[in-house]
């Protein structure tokens, strides 16, 4: 018990330290980088959350979900709805009456509330989507989740209160370095903690063999749904952060192509590897941007052809993904000794 609580305290300490670093970064990084690089950095963060959260559903639990874009859309739209209709006007009022520190703090708290609300609504939808996973397996589940994702998108497309097909403009641009990477750290740390806990091991057991897992007393139903709730929550926060960064949302952003991007991140990094998902998210965000100079050279936009070709090459030459089942501590030599059993 003592040992466990010490490890827990250590994690809390680490978390606070990271928050301090992020706060420091929040005031310095946007001034150091040019806006374009900063934008890519934020996209990297959003994609890391997307990849790491899907990694728990697809990589750890082995449940084939193709509806991640739907969860993102829910999170993005719900949070944008609240900050546009309730929190935004409230902050505007506050700026007029109590400018300064009070307003700044309230704004941050309300933004956090909006993100969490978005995440929770996505998690609720994740629970509903996770339910068919009790009956369906493999590709069928994939197709059903894809279907749910598309239904969510079409419903949003028909909701005039959030702009419908025109898109939702005028969302307060509250996203900043701190909040994006706060949720990146939260998703990554919880994933790593899960990996080494009873929960994560249960998910891995389900991935490897459902029947065997059930026979040793793992409640596979509960764990599958839990994986969906966890994944959907963070996907929702990723969507919320994205919406508040570009201050505009369009249902066309959340087509199944977006879900494929998330799956590509998970498979590229290696199924179940959190480190892999992070690295793959960064690569898939930076690669299209890095290929941009090529476009000026050839005059034709070859980027979107090269990207799938690279993906195919990687699948043919390294089918287990970049990291396979490994994590950073399996790869970097001096951390190897510290690996806990």
Which of 260, 289, 291, 324 touches other proteins by CB under 8 A? 260
- For the bound state, the minimum distance from the C-beta of residue 263 to other proteins, rounded and expressed in Å, comes to 7
Ordered DSSP codes for 140-205: HHHHHHHHHHHHHHHHHHT-GGGTGGG-EE-------HHHHHHHHHHHHHHHHHHHTSHHHHHHHH
Query: Measured from the CB atom, is 93 or 301 closer to other proteins?
Result: 301
Using N-to-C axis directions, what is the helix angle for 177-195 and 274-290, rounded to 10°? Answer: 140
Q: Are 71 and 229 in contact (CB under 8 A)?
A: no
Q: What residues between 303 and 322 interact with other proteins by CB under 8 A? A: 304-305, 307-309, 311-312, 315-316, 319
Q: Is 8 in the site for other proteins (CB under 8 A)?
A: no
Q: Is 143 in the site for other proteins (CB under 8 A)?
A: yes
Query: Measured from the CB atom, is 178 or 302 closer to other proteins?
Result: 302
Q: What residues between 196 and 255 interact with other proteins by CB under 8 A? A: 211
Query: Measured from the CB atom, is 97 or 317 closer to other proteins?
Result: 317
Identify which of 274, 271, 289 has the alpha carbon closest to the alpha carbon of residue 186. 274
**Residue found under tokens 């040793």:** 216
Which of the stretches 4-12, 136-144, 188-196, 287-295 binds other proteins when contact is defined by CB under 8 A?
136-144
Identify which of 184, 173, 181 has the alpha carbon closest to the alpha carbon of residue 244. 173
Q: Is 51 in the site for other proteins (CB under 8 A)?
A: no
Q: Is 136 in the site for other proteins (CB under 8 A)?
A: yes
**Residue found under tokens 């590709």:** 139
Which of the stretches 48-56, 155-163, 186-194, 197-205 binds other proteins when contact is defined by CB under 8 A?
155-163
Query: Measured from the CB atom, is 77 or 256 closer to other proteins?
Result: 256
Q: Are 172 and 95 in contact (CB under 8 A)?
A: no
DSSP state of 327: -
Q: Is 147 in the site for other proteins (CB under 8 A)?
A: yes
Q: Are 238 and 49 in contact (CB under 8 A)?
A: yes
DSSP state of 332: S
Q: Is 15 in the site for other proteins (CB under 8 A)?
A: no
Q: What residues between 54 and 93 interact with other proteins by CB under 8 A? A: 64
Which of 173, 301, 332, 335 touches other proteins by CB under 8 A? 301
Q: Is 128 helix (H, G, I), strand (E, B) or coil?
A: helix
Give the CA radius of gyration of the chain: 20
Site for other proteins, rule CB under 8 A:
64, 132, 135-136, 138-140, 142-144, 146-148, 150-151, 154-155, 157-158, 165, 211, 256, 260, 263-264, 267, 271, 300-302, 304-305, 307-309, 311-312, 315-316, 319
């Amino acid at each position: 018990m003592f040992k466990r609580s010490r490890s827990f305290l250590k994690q809390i300490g680490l978390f606070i330290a990271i928050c301090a670093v992020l706060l420091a970064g929040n005031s310095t990084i946007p001034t150091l980088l040019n806006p374009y690089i900063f934008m890519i950095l934020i996209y990297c963060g959003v994609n890391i959350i997307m990849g790491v959260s899907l990694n728990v559903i697809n990589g750890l639990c082995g449940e084939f979900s193709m509806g991640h874009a739907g969860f993102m859309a829910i999170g993005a739209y719900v949070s944008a709805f609240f900050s546009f209709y309730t929190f935004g006007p409230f902050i505007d009022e506050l700026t007029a009456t109590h400018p300064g520190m009070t307003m700044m703090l309230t704004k941050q708290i309300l933004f956090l509330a909006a993100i969490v609300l978005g995440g929770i609504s996505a998690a609720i939808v994740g629970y509903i989507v996770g339910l068919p996973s009790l009956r369906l397996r493999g590709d069928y589940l994939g197709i059903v989740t894809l279907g749910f994702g598309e239904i969510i998108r079409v419903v949003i497309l028909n909701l005039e209160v959030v702009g419908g097909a025109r898109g939702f403009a005028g969302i307060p641009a509250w996203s900043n370095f701190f909040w994006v990477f706060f949720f990146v750290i939260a998703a990554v740390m919880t994933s790593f903690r899960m990996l080494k806990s009873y929960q994560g091991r249960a998910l891995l057991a389900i991935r490897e063999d459902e029947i065997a897992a059930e026979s040793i007393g793992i409640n596979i139903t509960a764990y599958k749904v839990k994986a969906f709730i966890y994944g959907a929550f963070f996907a929702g926060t990723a969507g919320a952060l994205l919406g508040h960064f570009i201050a505009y949302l369009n249902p066309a952003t959340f087509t199944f192509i977006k879900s494929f991007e998330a799956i590509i991140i998970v498979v590229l990094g290696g199924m179940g590897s959190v480190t892999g998902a992070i690295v793959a998210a960064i690569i898939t965000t930076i690669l299209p941007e890095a290929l941009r100079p090529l476009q000026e050279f050839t005059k034709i936009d070859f980027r979107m052809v090269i990207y799938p070709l690279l993906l195919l090459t990687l699948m043919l030459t390294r089918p287990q993904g970049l990291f396979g089942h490994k994590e950073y501590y399996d790869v970097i030599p001096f951390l190897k000794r510290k690996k806990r059993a």
